[in-house]
A and B are shown apart, each in its own frame.
Chain A
Amino acid sequence: MRVATMASRYRSHLISLRDGREVTLRAIVEADATKIVQAFERLSAESRYYRFMRYKKQLDGRALERGVHPRPGREFAFVATVPAAEGTDIVGAGQYVRAGDGNEKTCEFSITVAEDWRGGGLATRLLASLVRRARRDGYETMEGWVLAQNTPMLAVARKLHFKSEPVSGDAAVLRVQRAL
């Protein structure tokens, strides 16, 4: 399958977090769909709100389908996994897609890290990996929409040289962006 071939070009590797724990970082594959749903179900309402900017009880099936089939050269998604009783658990994910502003050179990112896996720098590693990958895909700008109260994500973005700016008409959200 083409998707699997493209995904396999990103070599899965183990990374160490600041708290000493290790996670495997790899490209998302179709078979991750079930694990993504399980990871979503473990997220708190607040974490879901931060990611989707709405209270979400379940993942949208079509969005999930799109998420596990990133279009090569245009979209990419990383997952961070750890060994679990039944295979592996997904404890973090980061993805980018082409932004909706009509500019083909801008992509939009999102990052999600399981509550139990925060504080070790995983979000930073995920975003840094997205930046490198998006650059390879030919994007020139990366942007993200972050709730103003989501200070941990804003700190991660700032560390990776994103600038944040207010969003006209919505004081609750900031747009972070950087050149790639």
Chain B
Amino acid sequence: MLTHGNMVANVLQVAAWVSPNLNDGEEDPTLTEGELLAHCKQHLTAYKMPRIVEFRSEPLPKTNIGKILRRELRDGSAAVTAQAASLPVASA
């Protein structure tokens, strides 16, 4: 899981990515949205809670030298998006 937050024009953007990319051995493909949110709730204060949880099956987009490009993550639309229940949608 990777989290990152930054303030832009009074909008707090928080993104968390989980990908079943087993090559790295870093991610858990069985993780569910509920488990993820429960984990966040336990460890994060309310305002840091993710507003949107999105699961993707494809590898994270990277530059040729291996850096993750978040703008492409954001632009991508292939993934199934699920909004966390009862939380207002901010931006992701």
Residues of A at the B interface (CB closer than 8 Å) are 51-58, 60-63, 95-100, 108-110, 145, 148, 167-173
A62 CA to B24 CA, complexed, in Å: 10
Task: Report how many residues on chain B are interfacial, defined by Cβ distance under 8 Å.
Answer: 23
Decide if B26 is an interface residue (CB 8 Å cutoff): yes
Q: Is the CB of A110 within 8 A of B71?
A: no
Pair A97/B64 contact, Cβ less than 8 Å:
yes
Using a CB-CB cutoff of 8 Å, which residues 1-25 of chain B contact chain A? Answer: 1-2, 4, 6, 8, 13, 17, 23-25
Contacts of B60 in A (CB 8 A): 54
- Ranked nearest first, the 4 interchain pairs of A and B with the lowest CB-CB distance are A169-B71, A170-B71, A53-B68, A100-B64
Taking Cβ atoms with an 8 Å cutoff, the residues of B that contact A are: 1-2, 4, 6, 8, 13, 17, 23-26, 60, 63-71, 74-75
Give every chain A residue within 8 A of B13 (Cβ-Cβ).
171
Of A53, A60, A96, A170, which one neighbours B24 at CB under 8 angstroms? Answer: A60
Instruction: List, sorted by A's number, 7 A–B pairs whose CB atoms are closer than 8 Å.
Output: A55-B2, A57-B24, A98-B64, A148-B6, A168-B71, A169-B74, A172-B6
Closest to B4 in A: A172
- Report Cα–Cα, A55/B59, bound state, in Å: 15
Select one of B2, B24, B67 contacting A145, CB under 8 A. B67
- Among A95, A99, A108, A170, point to the contact of B74 (Cβ < 8 A): A170
Does the CB pair B26–A61 fall under 8 Å?
A: no
Known: A167-B71, A170-B71. A58 touches B66 (CB 8 A): no
**Are A100 and B63 in contact (CB-based, < 8 A)?**
yes
In the bound complex, residues from chain B placing their C-beta under 8 Å from that of A168 are: 71
